[in-house]
Amino acid sequence: MMSKTTTALATLAALGALSGAAQAEIRLGVSVSATGPAAFLGDPEAKTIEMLVEQLNEAGGINGEEIALTLYDDGGDPNKARTFATRLVEDDEVVAILGGSTTGTTMSILSVAEDEGIPFISLAGAISIVDPVRANVFKTPHTDRMACEKIFTDMQAQGITKIGMISGTDGFGASMQAQCKEVAGDHGIEILADETYGPQDADMTPQLTRIRNTDGVQAVLNPGFGQGPAIVTRNVAQLGFEIPLYQSHGVASDAFIELAGAEAAEGLRLPGTALLIADKLAEDDPQYKVVTAYTEAYKAKYDQDVSTFGGYAHDAFALIVDAITRAGDSEDPQAIRDALEATSGLVGTTGTYSFSPEDHLGLDLSAFRMLEIKDGDWLPVE
Amino acid sequence: MTGRNKWISLGVLALLIALLPLFFPSGYYYRVGALIFVNALSVVGLVILIGYAGQISLGHAGFAGIGAYACALAPEHLGLHPALAVLLGAVISGVMAALIGKPILRLKGYYLAVATLGFGILVSMVLTNERALTGGPDGMNVADLGLRSLLRDMGWRLSGGEFWYMICGVVLLVGAWLALNLFDSPSGRAMRALHGSEVAAATVGVDVPRQKLRAFVISAVYASVAGSLLALQNGYITPDVAGFMHSVEMVTMAVLGGVGSVLGATFGAAILTLLPQVLTVFAEYEQLVLGLVMVLVMIFLPQGLLPSIARRLKGRDE
Amino acid sequence: MDALLQFLFSGLTVGAVYALVALGFTIIYNASDVVNFAQGEFVMLGGMITVFAFEAGLPLPLAALLAILATSAIGVGLNKLAIEPARGAPVVSLIIITIGASIVIRGATQLIFDKQLHRFPSFSGDDPIHVLGATILPQSLWVIGGALAVFVGLWVFFTRTLTGKAVLATANNRVAAQLVGINTGWVMTLSFGLSAAIGAFAGVLVTPITLVGYDVGVALALKGFAAAMLGGMGNPKGALVGGLLLGCFEALTAGYLSSQYKEAVAFIVILGVLFVMPQGLFGRKSTERV
């Protein structure tokens, strides 16, 4: 019986160690996938938010109150994400949650946020997060559907009507693959070949050979993130494709050009955000200030290039800071939610956000810019 | 293990489940508790497979996946009540286990490991790729069990955390009770005999393939029900539930706690569920510490945590 | 026809990667009956250390050598710190120990280096070689050649050298090996060092093709394990054939059937082979004694 008591005590001690909510002024909760298969998304997101909180607190916080950040790494596991969301709400007593790097983790956090009435800004792409609109759930990234539409519009302008697709089977690739197939018809695009590859695959020449041997394919589209698109780009060059290659916003980062090789990536197009062409923006561009400030600070602090995903976190943080400032009461989640929904014309790295009771995404297609790789650098296509 | 020990084990478990909430400072602890019980349930299944029958599986998350997706799909497509979907998942898992177990269980050691691993990967691949049905890697919603609102209508208001803590606790108790009964049954003794030596067990008349298969099927059903409970509790499910790392996690819980006993399994589940929650204080060192704990426990407490602690307390050195 | 050739080129390249991982498994298994699930991390370390040494200004060959030596030392450390203390533990405990070790190595790598993807230049450029309408990259030839060289080296080692025979003897019967004067502790050290070196060598070869990041090891370990089991654990020939077969199954399935289910087909083939030949294609038969 002795051992049983010890067990119980040990369990209690472990549980006790879990508590200890921060005592600072504004409690902000974050759960992102800083490790695991979605670390490519979550790592820059976590770094961005940590950096921005530090900056804000050094500058005096919001209306004199500092932000106390509680950041958890859910490892891309929706089950963990839900536990952390519960912990953020019940134990850390945060007034708002940012995060949910993937659609799966977002959906898990979302139900907790809805149940408890805590505003939540998601960093994931799927349209189902904000459609139908849920009272407490917002998101910063474009939907994958918008990326597809941007790409297809550009293809139409080039006179391309028949394409082959090769998509990653990770959440990002699969979601975009499905949404592109849905909207292709609206743009008069026919998908003749539809191939996939696993997120850790080393060689995609078999799939690409199939696409090449499909009659009439005029362009290749590769939705995916991580190493897959870099390998696809190299394989396309290896096989000597003479048709254009389109990538997705999932690889919109300078590091991608390095990995794929400037030569192989030459002429490739993708829908990206202003982040990638920070150095080429006109000074009167509405995004100039926010984009340069973020890219320079991030590069200086972490010695890494910014990515679209870090930009999503940047915008989510900007939105919540703006909302808390306007809400006047940093203790009341409901007031913050109301202020968030009233956001109008907030300029972020991804685009300009204006929420309404009917629209919790608040971006339009103009936020995407079509970019092309020329001589190892991004150039806007106009 | 004698009959008295069985009731002590069950009593300790029941007391823990009933009394722990008295010390919970917030609703979050109910969530962690419920997760521990769900994990413990699948680990009790593995105790039967690994601890009793001496077999190994690196693919049991596949059965958890079947149970979880049965709960997600059957109510939507077959109009089945979620509670019945749990049963459906259990039946499918059992049948699958029987079908693949027959050829697979002839393999031994690492060969059995790779075969079960292959099965688990096949399941998670189907769940990931059949997007039209399962929502693909993004996952899908799971219908509400409906029991909580029923209780509310009857005047018993429970938070989601409290409700699932109770449900999972009760199911774990039932699962533990069944496993302990099996231990003392003729079938359980036969399993333990083949654990010692298959050849010896066969010589004294144990139907070795049959007992192995029985252990495999039973453990699959445990994993399936645990997967179902997880899906219903979360209200959302992704193919991660069937992933390789989940299989590894289950086996680790079983071995960590002490694979021979039901109480040890629960203890292992509790440790490995709590660890990531406690380790958040280590931030980026979390993975490192988690791996170290796994290695160190296996080296210094090869029998698992609970048996080693128990032995030390009894002051006996075997 | 050119399509078939292209699929085979792809399959051989990927298969050679699996074979290199599987060969690493073979040595440790032969010496200790342990399947080391941290083998994939050796490959990752080989790539990562080379990347960072190269970016720090070292010439590529020197960076690669440094990576192989450092990884080899880590392999020896793994044996001393985690495997030897757990001698005699059941299979399932050893699986957990090596998986735990792989988590430690990954966790340390992301702290010491980073979580980004990396690459260094191919050894002989990126201009594809054209063969009968199909193309293959020079780096693929390096990988395939590397796998063959390691295989031949191991085969000579195990059959022609006294040390190699000592390793086999240790695997066969540890006590008997000790009785005839074999230093089994040293054999274990040697095996882990060699196996880690081969893993790191694989990492150096494949990084220009597959890229490297702190978490690429898990998938490699799984595929390498499957390849080794397909060929029959403990046999270098099995590891080579198993790896190449697995790679070709995947490529041909992706090319002719469905890219979605290429891994599924690979695993179904493995299951099928194990049903017919429970010891893999070239595995040794064993009988259980009471």
Q: Do A170 and B287 touch (CB under 8 A)?
A: no
User: Any CB–CB contact under 8 A between A152 and chain C?
Assistant: no
C-alpha dist (Å) from residue A276 to A223, A254, C53? 18, 7, 28
Give C107 or B155, the one with higher predicted confidence: C107
Q: Are residues A260 and A304 in the same domain?
A: no
Q: Determine the distance in angstroms separating the CA of A243 from the nearest CA of chain C, rounded to an integer.
A: 17
User: Is B69 a residue whose pLDDT tops 60?
Assistant: yes
Residue of C270, C271, C290 with shortest CB distance to B200: C290
> Quick one: B2 exposed, middle or buried, by C-beta within 10 A (0-12, 13-18, 19+)?
exposed
User: Residue B255: inside a domain, yes or no?
Assistant: no
Cα–Cα distance measured from residue C288 to residue C279, given in angstroms and rounded to the nearest whole number: 14
The domain that contains A156 carries what CATH number?
3.40.50.2300
Q: Are residues A301 and A227 in the same domain?
A: no
CA atoms A217, A223, A224, A230: torsion sign: positive
User: Residue B301: inside a domain, yes or no?
Assistant: no
pLDDT of residue A162: 94
DSSP codes joined into one string, A279-326: GGS-TTSTTHHHHHHHHHHHHHHHSS--BHHHHHHHHHHHHHHHHHHH
Average pLDDT over residues C229-246: 90
Average pLDDT over residues B124-147: 88
* A62 φ, ψ (degrees, to nearest 5): -105, 120
User: Any CB–CB contact under 8 A between A7 and chain B?
Assistant: yes
Q: Do A203 and C14 touch (CB under 8 A)?
A: yes
* Residue spans of chain A under pLDDT 50: 1-24
Structure-token pair, residue A266:
């030459």
pLDDT of residue B3: 63
Cα–Cα distance measured from residue A377 to residue A266, given in angstroms and rounded to the nearest whole number: 9
Residue of C11, C115, C262 with shortest CB distance to A39: C115
Which residue is closest to B51 within chain C, CA to CA?
C92
Which residue is closest to C208 within chain A, CA to CA?
A259
User: Is B43 a residue whose pLDDT tops 50?
Assistant: yes
pLDDT of residue A159: 92
Q: Which of A103-107, B207-211, C136-140 has the lowest mean pLDDT?
A: B207-211
Q: What is the number of structural domains in chain A? A: 2
User: 1.10.10, 1.10.3470, 1.20.1740, 1.10.287: which CATH number matches C2-276?
Assistant: 1.10.3470
Average pLDDT over residues C191-203: 95
C-alpha dist (Å) from residue A325 to A54, A65, A136, A307, A332? 17, 10, 18, 27, 12
Share of chain C above pLDDT 70, in %: 97
* Window 143-172 of B, Cβ < 8 Å to C: none
Which residue is closest to A203 within chain C, CA to CA?
C10
Tell me, what DSSP letter sits at residue A375? T
Q: Which helix (H) or strand (E) holds C185?
A: helix C184-210
C-alpha dist (Å) from residue A346 to A54, A307, B277? 21, 20, 36
pLDDT of residue B183: 86
pLDDT of residue B52: 87
Under a CB-based contact definition with an 8 Å cutoff, are residues A246 and A268 in contact? yes
Q: Are residues A249 and A375 in the same domain?
A: yes
pLDDT of residue C173: 80
**Residue C284's pLDDT band (cuts 50, 70, 90):** low
Cα–Cα distance measured from residue C58 to residue C50, given in angstroms and rounded to the nearest whole number: 9
Q: Are residues A255 and A373 in the same domain?
A: yes
User: Is B182 a residue whose pLDDT tops 80?
Assistant: yes
The string of pLDDT tens digits covering residues B287-307 is 888 889 889 988 888 777 877
User: Residue B312: inside a domain, yes or no?
Assistant: no
pLDDT of residue C183: 85
User: Any CB–CB contact under 8 A between A207 and chain C?
Assistant: yes
User: Residue A18: inside a domain, yes or no?
Assistant: no
User: Any CB–CB contact under 8 A between B12 and chain A?
Assistant: yes
pLDDT of residue B315: 62
Q: Which domain holds residue A103?
A: 24-143+294-365
User: Residue B88: inside a domain, yes or no?
Assistant: yes
Q: Do B252 and C97 touch (CB under 8 A)?
A: no
Q: Which domain holds residue B140?
A: 3-20+27-244
Q: Which residues of A touch C255 (CB under 8 A)?
A: 206-207, 209-210
User: Mapped to the 3 state alphabet, what secondary structure does B72-132 carry?
Assistant: HHHHHHCCCCHHHHHHHHHHHHHHHHHHHHHHHCCCCHHHHHHHHHHHHHHHHHHHHHCHH
Q: Are residues A252 and A338 in the same domain?
A: no
Size of interface A-B (CB pairs under 8 A): 121
pTM of the model: 0.89
DSSP codes joined into one string, A165-225: EEEESSHHHHHHHHHHHHHHGGGT-EEEEEEEE-TT-S--HHHHHHHHTSTT--EEEE---
User: Any CB–CB contact under 8 A between A175 and chain B?
Assistant: yes
Neighbours of chain A (3+ CB pairs under 8 A): B, C
Q: What is the number of structural domains in chain B? A: 1
Cα–Cα distance measured from residue A173 to residue B89, given in angstroms and rounded to the nearest whole number: 29
- Dihedral of CA atoms C215, C218, C221, C223 in degrees, nearest 10, equals -110
Residue of B26, B238, B287 with shortest CB distance to A91: B26
Q: Determine the distance in angstroms separating the CA of B249 from the nearest CA of chain A, rounded to an integer.
A: 13
- ipTM value: 0.88
What average pLDDT does the structure give for chain B?
Answer: 88
Q: Are residues A60 and A206 in the same domain?
A: no
Q: Do B241 and A174 touch (CB under 8 A)?
A: no
Neighbours of chain C (3+ CB pairs under 8 A): A, B
* CA B234 centroid distance within chain: 17
Tokens 């009272």 -> residue: A135
Q: Do A263 and C259 touch (CB under 8 A)?
A: no
Q: Determine the distance in angstroms separating the CA of B159 from the nearest CA of chain C, rounded to an integer.
A: 36
User: Residue B238: inside a domain, yes or no?
Assistant: yes
Q: Do C229 and B291 touch (CB under 8 A)?
A: no
Q: Which of A360-369, B91-100, B134-143, C78-87 has the lowest mean pLDDT?
A: A360-369
Q: Which residues contact A127 (CB under 8 A, 6 or more apart)?
A: A143, A144, A145, A179
User: Any CB–CB contact under 8 A between C183 and chain A?
Assistant: no
User: Residue A1: inside a domain, yes or no?
Assistant: no
The string of pLDDT tens digits covering residues B84-126 is 999 999 999 999 999 999 988 988 888 898 899 999 999 999 9
Share of chain B above pLDDT 70, in %: 98
